Chain A
Amino acid sequence: MKPSAIALAALLPCLAASLGEVDKAKTFGNPGAPVRIELFSDFQCPGCKAFHEVLLPVIIRDYVVPGKAYIFNHEFPLAMHPHSREAANLATAAATVGKYSQVADVLFLNQASWGTNGKVWETVATVLTPAEQKKVQALAKDPAILAQVQQEVDSGQAQRIPQTPTIIVSRGAKRYSFPGPDQNNYPLLRSLIDGLLK
């Protein structure tokens, strides 16, 4: 199990009851935490894979687990990636059965494979039970799920997200966009979040 999935499993009880089921599953941490980190990501983007597998567990360890920040994932499939919209739809559908994190992990882990052969569903199905597979497959075509994904894309475009991954770090009225977070610039991100926490 990946570190992010472990952290998510540990933190799920903290999620706000007022959020919708999909929103809940896409949130890491306690919504009452002082700093909010919004992540705009594309399952087919290599930088997003690196962020998910390397930096996200570090951010969760440093800020989410201690209750200093919480993370909200937004789907932001780019038009240049032919399978990323399908992946976003399936992951959002999987969120309704509480499997968003597992689906995200397996999609990023096997990005090179399904990104080439287009077998997105076959990849997603490996972390779902037969009952969940049936439900998720149907929900991935549900207009409500498609609208949810589109709403997240529209939100990113309205905020002029320049690239993926991009994170928006905010506390109250202070809101800062941080495109391309990676291991190299994590000290800058850490300094920014620490500044907001003061």
Chain B
Amino acid sequence: MVFSSKPLRWLELILRIALGGIFTYAAWVKLRDPWELYALAINSYEVLPLWAVEIVARTLPWLELAIGVGLIAGIWLRISATVTSLLLMVFFALMVRAFAKGMQINCGCFGGADIISKWTLLRDGSMLAGSLLLTSMAFARQRKTT
């Protein structure tokens, strides 16, 4: 099976560390600031009622932290990679929707002023591609070992 080759094991490790580091950093910048700032960014997408915005703003950074740590540590890789891919799919879809509608809003990805642009779409799209690759590798390796 190709996924057992050494270069691909290195690629998996790099993807795990990179995505895990990004998710851990994204969680940290949100958790160090008051939750209201992240809630404001979520609210600017205009897809959730305010009560749901508050729940997401208070819980999502902790989920991102758990995923980040899980990816870096390599534990429950199939689960953490799958959740990462699902989250990134939702984030990317929301960002594309906002960009297509011409909304000049903060993406809410890493705190601070990060207005949605072609650059932010390219960045998150690359992360999504990397995450899907990692997920497929995790499942392929599992199939081989079972």
Which residues does A use to contact B, with CB under 8 Å?
Answer: 160-163, 176-180, 184-185, 187-189, 191-192, 195
Contacts and interface: CB of A to CB of B under 8 A. Distances in A.
Given A184-B43, A187-B50, A188-B43, A177 B113 contact: yes
A178 B43 CA distance: 12
21 contacts: A160-B112, A160-B113, A161-B113, A162-B106, A162-B113, A176-B33, A177-B37, A177-B113, A179-B40, A179-B106, A180-B44, A184-B43, A185-B50, A187-B50, A188-B39, A188-B40, A188-B50, A189-B36, A189-B40, A191-B36, A195-B34
Contacts of B33: 176
Interface string B21-32: 000000000000
A164 B71 CA distance: 39
Q: DSSP majority for the B interface?
A: mixed
Contacts of B105: 180
Interface of B: 33-34, 36-37, 39-40, 43-44, 50, 53, 104-106, 112-113, 115
Given A192-B37, A195-B34, A162 B43 contact: no
B114 to A, nearest CB: 8
A74 to B, nearest CB: 16
Q: Which of A162, A188, A189 has the most CB of B within 10 A?
A: A188
B40 A185 contact: yes
Q: Which of B33, B34, B104, B115 has the most CB of A within 10 A?
A: B34
A36 to B, nearest CB: 16
Given A160-B113, A178-B40, A180-B105, 17 more contacts: A162-B104, A162-B115, A163-B104, A176-B33, A177-B37, A177-B112, A179-B106, A184-B43, A185-B44, A185-B50, A187-B50, A188-B43, A188-B50, A188-B53, A191-B34, A192-B37, A195-B36
A185 B41 CA distance: 10
